[in-house]
Amino acid sequence: MTMSASIAVNGIGTIGKRVARAIQHQPDMELAGIADVAATGELRTVAQDGPLQDAPLYGATEEGMETLRNAGFDVAGSLEGVLDDVHLVVDATPKGVDEQNKQELYQPNDVKAIFQGGAANDIAPVKFNANANYDAARGEDAVKVVSCNTTSLARLMDALDSSIGVDRATASLVRRGGDPKQDGRGPINSVIPVHDVPSHHAPDVQEVMPGLDITTIAVKVPTTLAHVHMVNVDLASDVDRDTVIDLFHDTPRVELFSDDDGYGSAARVIERMRDLERPRYDTHAAGIWEETVAVEEGTLYWVNMVHQESIVTPDNIDAARAMLDLADQDESIERTDRSLA
């Protein structure tokens, strides 16, 4: 592996800023630059004062370039102007903008692109999760990394389905109302059910794992730290709790947390990440509370958390490796996880 892939990130928000930073940590990748259109506080922080200040900053549009320059940013040019030197763009722009970027920027310039979970499903032929279907992205030009909740479900369902077999799964999602920075969102004191049963998460998982029998129900609650899933799975084989615990333990990007160790809530797991001095207290793993894992008459139950801001970061990195044929699945996952530990 001597090729160093040149990758740009378009859209420096919750996902984009994390993926850009993760690219900087990969031995086989180079951050070609970051692009945006708006002089947000987070762009100012990461691009002017923070960890991305050495990366070239581009205007994602001509107008965006002017906006950033007028706001005092040091802008190297337009994103389009450097696409010839870029192997791949990670697009983390809002829904709708991503589609426009694909049609007006990436396809005409023949550059590969990764899109995020918020994008329309038809933006890319492959919906991606590194654990579940890495090979489906090999050599592809456009890939969509599925959303945070779907990523957690795909990781865990793939582990179970590959080694034990899943007859049927139901996940009840307790979604965080907003991210920490989203101070305009609610609820403050309410619980909001999502109308549709199944919620969009079940069909999204099935985009990655066709044929998986899964249903999802969801509510939104007043918390910012994490989503929480309560899951029940009818298993295809008769296994005991210890077998499942061992399986989860051995699955990449799945972590077990025990209340006995002091990690018995979303806030306590996050406090662990802060104490480990993880950047932004990110935790890329689907975090399962060990005490909640139970098997009863062939049905497996557990409760797990999903750090909504960061769980898809490693999958973006692996998607790039698959699309650029830089490594096989196990090697990519291992390389990514080592770089982000």
Q: What is the distance in angstroms between the CA of the first residue and the CA of the last residue of the chain?
A: 21
Q: Which of 65, 64, 71 is nearest to 41 (CA)?
A: 71
Between 283 and 332, CB nearer to its own copies = 283
Between 19 and 300, CB nearer to its own copies = 300
In angstroms, what is the minimal distance from the CB of 293 to its own copies? Answer: 8
In angstroms, what is the minimal distance from the CB of 156 to its own copies? Answer: 15
Tokens standing for residue 176 = 């965080």
Q: Please give the Cα distance from 138 to 285 (Å, whole number).
A: 23
By the criterion CB under 8 A, which residues form the site for its own copies? 170, 172, 174, 187, 189-198, 215, 217-219, 221-226, 228, 230, 232, 259, 264-268, 289, 291-294, 296, 299, 301-303, 305
Helix (H), strand (E) at residue 6: strand 5-10
Q: Please give the Cα distance from 191 to 171 (Å, whole number).
A: 17
In angstroms, what is the minimal distance from the CB of 61 to its own copies? Answer: 37
Q: Please give the Cα distance from 269 to 281 (Å, whole number).
A: 10
Between 267 and 276, CB nearer to its own copies = 267
CB 72 within 8 A of CB 100: no
**Cβ burial, residue 322 (10 Å; 0-12/13-18/19+):** buried
In angstroms, what is the minimal distance from the CB of 195 to its own copies? Answer: 4
In angstroms, what is the minimal distance from the CB of 274 to its own copies? Answer: 13
Between 56 and 198, CB nearer to its own copies = 198
Between 92 and 300, CB nearer to its own copies = 300
- Other C-beta atoms within 10 Å of 174: how many? 19
In angstroms, what is the minimal distance from the CB of 176 to its own copies? Answer: 8
In angstroms, what is the minimal distance from the CB of 192 to its own copies? Answer: 4
Q: Please give the Cα distance from 202 to 205 (Å, whole number).
A: 5
User: Quick check: is 148 catalytic?
Assistant: yes
In order, the DSSP letters of 98-165 are HHHHIIIIITTTT-EEEE-TTS-GGG-SEEE-HHHHGGGGTT-SEEEE--HHHHHHHHHHHHHHHHT-
**How many alpha carbons fall within 13 Å on the CB side of residue 122?**
2
Between 55 and 305, CB nearer to its own copies = 305
Sheet with 126-128, side-by-side order of all strands: 77-78, 57-59, 29-36, 5-10, 88-91, 112-115, 142-145, 126-128
Between 82 and 231, CB nearer to its own copies = 231
Please report, as a single letter, which amino acid is at residue 229: H
- Greatest alpha-carbon pair distance for the chain in Å reads 65
Q: Which of 148, 205, 311, 327 is catalytic?
A: 148
Active-site residue list? 148
